[in-house]
Amino acid sequence: MAESLDRGLDELSRQRVWDALDRFRIEIPSWGFANTGTRFGKFTQAAAATTIEEKFADAAQVNALTGASPTMALHVLWDLPNGLADVPKIQQLEKSTGIQAGSINPNLFQDQKYKYGSICNPSAGIRGKALAHLLDSVAIGRALGSRDVSLWIADGSNYPGTQSIRRRLEWMQEVLAATHAALGPEQRMLVEYKPFEPAFYHTDIADWGMALELARRAGPKAKVLVDTGHHLQGANIEQIVAWLLHANALGGFHFNDRKYADDDLTLGSIDPYQVFRIFHEILSDASSGTAGIAYMIDQSHNLKGKIEAMVQSVCAAQELYAKAASIDQQRLRSLQDECRLVEAEECFREAFWQDVRPLVRAWREARGLPPHPLRALADSGYVEAATRERGARNSAAVASYA
């Protein structure tokens, strides 16, 4: 037993980490660069992006420092307020910054008409408008050549008896099927779930089982999106991941961390072991089904500097992915099969606890990237320049809640 404990990083696991870093990409969200806040108010930041041009510039800066985030998720209403007509502008920005448009996020939660829901609204007229927005989003995705249309449905109700759960899900199913039918051959549709908020009694897509069933009924291009902040306390997220892999229905992730609910904190800031366990589920799956998984960050930093927090998040994701990649899967599997519990657990734990940062730094240098991305950001003066250029516009932003 002694020799199967305490093994450290051997040459093979170093190679696995290196390959994993070459492969790993994580998408950053445009909304992570703009001024966002709590539902009580916003503390605006002078360096926050105020335009789509500035969001692209910030994303390019994060990618230049990390080499791992070449795409940016777009929110249709916030980033393409004129819908399809804004596509040429986005294409122009893709060219000038080298950042590609990533997942397209329809917005079905902001307009006044969605007070009682969007695709689950009892009004056929409002459901029709929501579908029209979904179809616009599919067309935008197709025009930009981006693969995923990522749906988060904020619909639900606040009081028992006030809405029919059954009828709403039938309505929703119809709209999702119509959206699926419009997808191009390369497009996918991701279905996100969340147990509560903004609705507090029932949410129309509350958990992964509901999302999976809806995705299945919509069609083969529909997959489930796991937002790590969208679970009730104590949920075993890596088990959900394992099940979705088993069902060939894992579309991707919105990474963020939480202590209580949908807190949108920095990835791995509260529970890095959980992110490691999630990556392990994926890396221990030898099938090819894992290749299409979209890793994305869904975070809004209302106190931390936005660009700094995004660099920090990408680096945290790389480090945790690297740790999970260092596991010798074959060895772990035989320890599991022989029920050598302590040795199996130690094999797993050791991968988590070892410091992969020197190896990640070496990888960065070999790829022409700064070994310390956060330090390089500080040295670049980028945030100071953004503060000077954007300060006046940001100070004019509205911050009140009521």
Q: Which residues bind ligand RM4 (CB under 6 A)?
A: 31, 105, 152, 192, 227, 254, 262, 298
Query: In the bound complex, what is the minimum distance in angstroms from residue 134's beta carbon to Mn ion?
Result: 17
What is the distance between the alpha carbons of residues 399 and 9, in angstroms, rounded to a whole number? 50
User: At closest approach, how far in Å is the CB of 137 from ligand RM4?
Assistant: 12
Quote the least distance from Cβ 154 to ligand RM4, whole Å: 7
Phi-psi category of residue 8: left, alpha or beta, with phi > 0 → left and psi -120 to 50 → alpha: left
Provide the minimum distance between the beta carbon of 46 and Mn ion in the complex, in angstroms, as a whole number. Answer: 26
Query: Which residue in 86, 213, 262, 263 binds Mn ion (CB under 5 A)?
Result: 262
The item of ligand RM4, Mn ion, none sharing an interface with residue 238, based on CB under 5 to 8 Å by kind, is none
Q: Among 31-39, 168-176, 220-228, 242-250, which window interacts with Mn ion (CB under 5 A)?
A: 220-228
Asked if 254 interacts with Mn ion (CB under 5 A), we say: yes
Nearest approach in angstroms of CB 225 to Mn ion is 7
155 binds, among Mn ion, ligand RM4, none (CB under 5 to 8 A by kind): none
Closer Cβ to ligand RM4, 107 or 387, answer by number: 107
183/265 with CB nearer Mn ion: 265
User: Taking CB under 5 A as the rule, which mask of x and - marks residues 294-323 in contact with Mn ion?
Assistant: ----x-------------------------
Judging by DSSP bridges, how do beta strands 202-203 and 156-157 pair with one another? antiparallel
87 touches 143 (CB < 8 A):
yes
Instruction: Give the residues lining the site for Mn ion (CB under 5 A).
Output: 227, 254, 262, 298
